[in-house]
Amino acid sequence: MMGRLFWKFFFAFLLALLIAGLGVGTTMWLHQEQINQRLTDAPIQIGKLASIIVSDAADIGQYGGAQGLRQYLTDQQQNGVARVYAFDDNDQELLGRDLEDGQLDAVRQLYDKVPHLRSIRLLTPESDGSLLLFIPANVVAPLNDYPPHGPKPPKPLITLMIAGIFSGLFFSAFLAWWFTKPIRHLRGAFQAVAKGQLATRIGPAMGRRKDELAELGRHFDDMTAKLENLVSAQRNLLHDVSHELRSPLARVQAAIGLAEQRPEKTPEVMARLEKESERMDYLIGDLLNLSRLDSLAADKAEQALFELSPLLDELLDDARYEANLSQITITANILAPLWLYGKPVLILRALENVLRNAIKFTPENGAVLFQAEAIEKHVIIHIQDSGPGVKADELQHLFTPFFKGEQGREHQTSTGLGLTIAERAVKAHRGEIIAKHVDKGGLHIEIRLPNAKRPD
């Protein structure tokens, strides 16, 4: 079923073709009328019949010479059908016939202006000079069917108009179909996505098109791919959240059951309940931060150019206060200035999560290295702890939501979302975050962010 857009394209193309054809045809017709009007008062007869008669005489003169042409014209005169006049270079007619004064000069001028006119021929037989052949305008042809012809062909203008109409219909239908075909694919794809089929792609259906409609199809595929990934991530997150919440809730229920069966264990049970509630509070806080991260990154209102060094000083002061409780030393090396463009709150949240993670896994009397510098197009930040590190097969999963390595499972307050939040914040600023092994033990996190130019 053809849509309304198809018919709009169809009639638009058809109208454009018809207008163009009508314009060209009218121009040709007016030009021809100009020529016809110019030849109306010509000193010779103009037309197809006159062209045929003059051409026959010219052929005879070409092969028989002036003598053969004279004999041909004489025979024609005896039969009463002589119409062709032949004048030599001395303005003498082969049969001695005369013209009105000035008529021969007018014929020669006409030939000079319109040399391709078939009703007038300049013949140059060998050794006889040149002969100008034509039928004077005052000579009326006695035969209307000489030479005999079949049925007249249709007029060229009518033929062109008919051909133009049919070709216009064909090409209009083809162009309308060509332009609306990808739109039909898009409509079907949108309907499929609306039904939940997020794996729908229309790139293959576009073929080798390289126009705006094909680009729209590629954008559609990008959109559906992102939607599919987003929905899949949300489903996985919901599954992981359910799993993470089920464990502390199960322990809470077990503690309550223990308190009911053994009242003397109530103080111990209350301590367990407090610990599990803190764990769920940490988890819910990180989930809220993770859910707000995408909306904060998408909001362009609070993005600005800022210098990171003063913010790092405050971050390190807070981190040292926490690290001193475990006699952990934080060594910082900040090579200012460090200019970034984006949201300072997101950058600080990412750095804080990584730094607190390093402090958490560093043993007592250990050390944490913090280094920041600007190198060409990037601001590079290194955070390295002296903890036990992670296994090789766990390194690639560190930024996966709720992932806890072997060491992470020993920390009851770890939710497995800290590094995930850091990765999302860094990627929101077109940066990258990389986890590396340290030869002497520990974990090395490298963060690369685009270096912004300092304002003048």
Which residues are known catalytic residues? Answer: 243
Instruction: Burial-class residue 37 by CB neighbours within 10 Å (0-12, 13-18, 19+).
Output: exposed
The residue type of 117 is L
Q: What's the rounded Cα separation, in Å, for the pair 238 and 17?
A: 59
Closest CA to 226 of 286, 296, 289, 298: 298
φ, ψ at 373 (rounded to 5°): -160, 160
Strand partners, 434: 446
Long-range contacts of residues 158-163, Cβ cutoff 8 Å, at least 24 apart: 160/21, 160/25, 161/21, 161/25
Residue position matching structure tokens 């997101």: 346
The residue type of 57 is A
Q: What's the rounded Cα separation, in Å, for the pair 17 and 355?
A: 70
DSSP class of residue 93 equals: B
Q: What's the rounded Cα separation, in Å, for the pair 449 and 426?
A: 7
Q: What's the rounded Cα separation, in Å, for the pair 172 and 12?
A: 8
349 and 421 in contact (C-beta within 8 Å)?
Answer: yes
